[in-house]
Amino acid sequence: MDSSNSSSMNDGEVQEVIVQTRSSELIVLHDVSSQTDQAMYSSNAEFQAYSVRKFNELKVAINQVRDLVLASAISPQSSTDNMSNDFEEHETIFPVLSYPDWESFNASLAEETRKQQVLKYLQSMGGVDLKEAVSRMLRSIITDEVTSLYSWKGGKGKKKFNSLLIVPLIIKAVRMHKKMSVQESTVSEVEKCIIAFVVHATDRMKRKLNRAGKNSETTGDEVDT
């Protein structure tokens, strides 16, 4: 904050009081009085009353500046809280479990505020390289069951993944990745990672089923013993 408060009083003369603040874009310039002003009053008592009134007005102005400064100090924390709330909301609805919900979510990305919220969420997924970054983004928002309903171009009776609004958003999130090597990836490279994720959705489902079956057998053996 850029602030100043100056006052000079010599031989009963009050010349100027200035309060300025730049951060809140409020500037208060308050000329309380001068020796010329004093000549306008018939008695020293009247002039003193005038000065007191002006200083009270100045006090109100200073309090307003203080309130603005306090508000600006609080707002970053409010932004952090809002971001945290956004992430909590996404963690509640992600990954999307059904095709109708996925289509509804994808359509919601046409709204700018929603798009920016999801972009921040995708950025938070991290990843050591491009393949892992894209995979982490996709795994965080969509299940393999829903992904398996798609192919990149919509072949073999499946839905088109390349027309979804989430695709350019993933590309943008990659561009904003913390690692420079990931940021510098081309659109084609990002798309190849997305295609690989979509193509192998069925394989991932099979592996999960196999693991679930083995775990079930192991649990059954432990019960028998």
Q: Is the dihedral of CA 51, 54, 60, 62 positive or negative?
A: negative
As a whole number of angstroms, the distance between CA 111 and CA 19 comes to: 43
pLDDT for position 39: 56
pLDDT for position 25: 44
Residue ranges covered by each domain of the chain = 5-76, 94-224
pLDDT tens for the chain, 225 residues long, are 444 444 444 444 444 444 444 444 444 444 444 454 555 656 777 777 777 788 778 777 776 766 565 554 434 444 444 444 554 555 568 999 999 999 999 999 999 999 999 999 999 999 999 999 999 999 999 999 999 999 999 999 999 999 999 999 999 999 999 999 999 999 999 999 999 999 999 999 999 989 888 777 666 566 555
Write down the pTM of the prediction.
Answer: 0.58
SS3 content of the chain, % helix, strand, coil (to 5): 65, 10, 25
Average pLDDT, the chain: 77
